[in-house]
Every structure is written in structure tokens, then in C-alpha cells.
């Protein structure tokens, strides 16, 4: 027998910037990210923009063109920006990925060129996937425009689209070149999208940072009044915790646990059962309420703490319950299938995060379905 051993490490580094008006002429972040990438010559840029953003920020595309013009020794726009309908539809249509690949071919976008995505989490996931597979990886900059994408999905390393009726079934782990969070985008969000991403902050606070949880509780009235400073505080800390977590132990999720996915096994299933009528962040709020209630029912946390979490979620205007949680087939709750699907997606042993106390999560490998159904009943009552 003969063996050749192979072992190497690939280092990834990227920065997440927090700014305002990223394409105003005097803002140098975008150009500097590109100037410092180690390549030479003019870099070709291809933009994909969320339609919801393009419509509400009509000056954006002219601003991008002027910005590139001003920096034309370094930047070169290839093609017109590709405007794509935002929301989950973007991840359900594989043709969009093909259209981006077509553009990469047509505009001679190479591995030293950039695909820039501006939009919500769905657009970023879809474009990130296309960028990862074109030429086995074209440089990619993410400019997230929703609360959820600025504090969670856009600052991480995952991308993907939905195939076979399953969320994120096809995708890769691929760090971006940079992430640029521009607070100005947030002002045009719908009420639902303003609120939706707050649940991801509650999630990390509950499993890792009690002080952050108290800050969210204190800021709750301001968040409800759409106070941008309170939202920026929330986004910054939440993004920071996600970024730290990724670097921490298992950036490409080789293990079976996904510690930051508290409340997510049911959230993913609920999104699927409601055909995405319930948004990701809204589903996560319900998922957090459910797993917090379960944690209370099995004696992990006390009643006071349980009520505190439920009160926060409800006061922010989230629903605690959706009728799809109670859908059954052959006397089995369909939502419970989400446990199995969550395990399959990760591989290995079932690993679910629950709460040991406020600010500290605990992983378990078994869920009592009867107690989970009891928790669903409680949420149905509390939601009234």
C-alpha cells in the first residue's frame, strides 16, 4: 500500500463595515476594499440589485455609476445592474443563478472581478451562490439592506437557494470579500421587514449574552418607533456575535450542531408550510417562543424568565403562533417533521439548542414530541 498525505489550511479574512451612503462620492470604503485586494489594473464590477431597493432608492443606480466614474482608474462597470425581484422568490428560481452565470460569461467577469449584491438576505444568498460557483469563485461584496441581512445573514459565510422544496438545499460556504452595512437603506423597509430581523438579535442574546437581552428589552419602545440609533445598536452587537461565532469553532459547519440556530428547526419548517407567507425573521420569533416555552415546560428555565421572553417578542409586534403549527397528517403534527429535516440538513445526531437560563443555551439530542405539542398549545393561547 502507498499513501500520499495531503493537509492544508486556507485563511479567509473579510471586514464588515458600518457606514452611511456607501456610494456617495466622498465615501471611500467601497473603492478601498477593492484597491486593497492585491490584484492589479481596473477591476470589472457586475451588480445585482434587489428590486425592492432599486424602487425605493431611485438615486442608487445613478449614484453607483457616478461613483464608478469618479474612480474609473480602478473600477469598471460591466453591463447594466441586474435588478431581481426580492424576497424568497429569488431563491426559488434557479434561472436567476443561470442568468448571473450568463452575465459572468458575457461581461468577461473573471476571478479578479467582482459580483456585488445589494439587497435583502434572499438576494444575497442567491447571488452569493452564483458568485461562488462561477469560475469556482468570483470575488463577491455584499451590501445588505434589511435588518436581518445586516445583523445575521449578510455578514456570514453561507449562501444558497431553495431546491426540491427545501430551504437552502443547494449552496456553499464561501466568505465574501467584504460586507458593507449602510444604515440608510433601512429607512425604506416595510414594517414587517423592519421588525423581522430583530428576532435574530433576541436569538443570540438569549443563548449567549444576557446584557444584550436587557438592552433589547430597554430599547424595545424605541425599536417600535423605528429609532435608527436603537436599531444600529442592535444590528452592530448582533452582527458582531455572529461574526465571532463563525470564526470561533466551526465556520463551515462540519459538526452536527449549529449553536446559533436556536429556534430555527421549527422556523424553517414553518416557512415551508406557509409557502414563505411567514418571513424568516417572523418564523424565528415563533421558533424562539416555541423552544423557550419547551425549555420552561421541561424545567430548564423558570416561569418568570419564560414570561419575560414571551412578553418581549409580543411587545415588538411579532406573532407567537401561526395556525400552520397545528397542521396534522395522520394525527402527527407536520411541524414536528422539522426536527428530522433539521437533523438531515446538518447530518449526524439530532442537536437542538434550548435555554438553560436567559443568556445561556444548552444543546440536547432528544425532543419529547408530546411536550412540544403542549408548547404549541400554550403559544396558541398566549397569542390571543
Q: Would you say the C-alpha torsion 136, 142, 145, 150 has a positive or negative sign?
A: positive
Nearer to ligand NAD, 44 or 158 (CB): 158
Residues facing residue 347 across a β-bridge: none
* Contact status: 56 vs ligand NAD (CB under 6 A): yes
Q: How far apart are CA 335 and CA 337, in angstroms?
A: 5
Q: Which residue has the cell 421558533?
A: 287
3-state SS, one letter per residue, for 205-262: HHHHCHHHHHHHHHHHHHHHCCCHHHHHHHHHHHHHHHHHHHHHCCCCCCCCCCCCCC
Nearer to ligand NAD, 166 or 210 (CB): 166
Which 67-96 residues touch ligand NAD, going by CB under 6 A?
86-88, 91
Task: Judge contact between 75 and 31, C-beta under 8 A.
Answer: yes
Give the start-end residues of each E strand in 42-194.
43-50, 75-77, 82-84, 114-119, 139-144, 161-163, 166-170, 178-182
Nearer to ligand NAD, 251 or 359 (CB): 251
Binding mask 174-213 for ligand NAD (x = CB under 6 A): -----------x--xx---x--xx----------------
Nearer to ligand NAD, 160 or 361 (CB): 160
* Contact status: 53 vs ligand NAD (CB under 6 A): yes
* Contact status: 338 vs ligand NAD (CB under 6 A): no
At its nearest, how many Å lie between ligand NAD and the CB of residue 34? 23
Instruction: Work out the burial of residue 2: count CB atoms within 10 Å of its CB; fewer than 13 is exposed, 13-18 middle, 19 or more buried.
Output: exposed
Which 291-310 residues touch ligand NAD, going by CB under 6 A?
none
* Contact status: 219 vs ligand NAD (CB under 6 A): no
Nearer to ligand NAD, 192 or 332 (CB): 192
Binding mask 103-132 for ligand NAD (x = CB under 6 A): ----------------xxxxx-x-------
Q: How far apart are CA 35 and CA 273, in angstroms?
A: 45
Positions that interact with ligand NAD (CB under 6 A): 50-53, 56, 86-88, 91, 119-123, 125, 145-146, 148-149, 152-153, 156, 158-159, 167, 185, 188-189, 193, 196-197, 279-281
Amino acid at each position: 500500500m502507498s499513501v500520499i498525505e495531503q493537509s492544508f489550511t486556507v485563511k479567509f479574512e473579510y471586514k464588515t463595515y458600518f457606514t452611511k451612503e456607501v456610494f456617495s462620492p466622498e465615501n471611500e470604503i467601497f473603492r478601498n476594499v477593492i484597491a486593497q485586494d492585491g490584484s492589479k489594473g481596473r477591476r470589472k464590477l457586475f451588480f445585482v440589485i434587489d428590486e425592492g431597493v432599486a424602487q425605493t432608492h431611485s438615486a442608487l443606480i445613478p449614484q453607483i455609476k457616478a461613483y464608478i466614474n469618479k474612480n474609473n482608474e480602478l473600477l469598471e462597470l460591466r453591463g447594466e445592474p441586474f435588478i431581481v425581484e426580492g424576497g424568497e422568490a429569488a431563491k426559488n428560481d434557479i434561472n436567476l443563478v443561470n442568468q448571473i452565470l450568463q452575465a459572468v460569461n458575457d461581461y468577461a467577469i473573471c476571478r479578479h472581478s467582482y459580483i456585488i449584491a445589494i439587497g435583502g438576505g434572499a438576494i444575497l444568498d442567491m447571488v452569493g451562490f452564483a458568485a461562488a460557483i462561477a469560475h469556482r469563485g468570483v470575488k463577491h461584496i455584499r451590501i445588505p439592506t434589511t435588518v436581518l441581512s445586516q445583523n445575521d445573514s449578510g455578514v456570514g459565510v453561507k449562501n444558497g437557494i431553495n431546491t426540491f422544496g427545501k430551504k437552502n438545499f443547494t449552496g456553499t460556504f464561501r466568505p465574501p470579500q467584504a460586507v458593507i452595512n449602510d444604515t440608510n437603506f433601512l429607512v425604506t423597509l416595510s414594517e414587517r421587514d423592519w421588525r423581522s430581523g430583530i428576532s435574530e438579535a433576541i436569538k443570540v442574546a438569549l443563548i449567549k449574552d444576557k446584557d444584550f437581552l436587557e438592552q433589547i428589552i430597554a430599547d424595545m419602545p424605541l425599536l417600535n418607533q423605528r429609532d435608527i440609533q436603537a436599531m444600529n445598536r442592535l444590528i452592530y452587537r448582533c452582527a458582531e456575535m455572529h461574526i465571532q461565532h463563525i470564526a470561533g469553532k466551526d465556520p463551515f459547519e462540519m459538526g452536527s450542531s449549529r449553536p446559533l440556530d436556536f429556534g430555527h428547526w421549527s422556523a424553517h419548517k414553518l416557512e415551508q408550510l406557509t409557502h414563505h407567507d411567514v418571513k424568516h425573521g417572523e418564523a424565528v420569533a415563533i421558533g424562539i417562543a416555541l423552544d423557550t416555552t419547551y425549555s420552561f415546560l421541561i424545567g430548564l428555565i423558570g416561569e418568570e424568565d419564560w414570561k419575560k421572553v414571551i412578553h418581549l417578542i409580543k411587545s415588538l409586534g411579532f406573532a407567537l403562533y401561526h395556525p400552520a403549527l397545528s397542521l396534522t397528517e395522520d394525527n402527527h403534527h407536520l411541524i414536528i417533521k422539522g426536527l428530522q429535516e433539521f437533523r438531515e440538513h446538518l447530518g449526524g445526531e439530532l442537536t437542538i439548542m434550548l435555554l438553560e437560563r436567559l443568556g445561556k443555551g444548552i444543546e440536547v439530542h432528544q425532543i419529547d414530541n408530546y411536550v412540544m405539542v403542549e408548547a404549541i398549545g400554550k403559544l396558541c393561547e398566549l397569542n390571543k
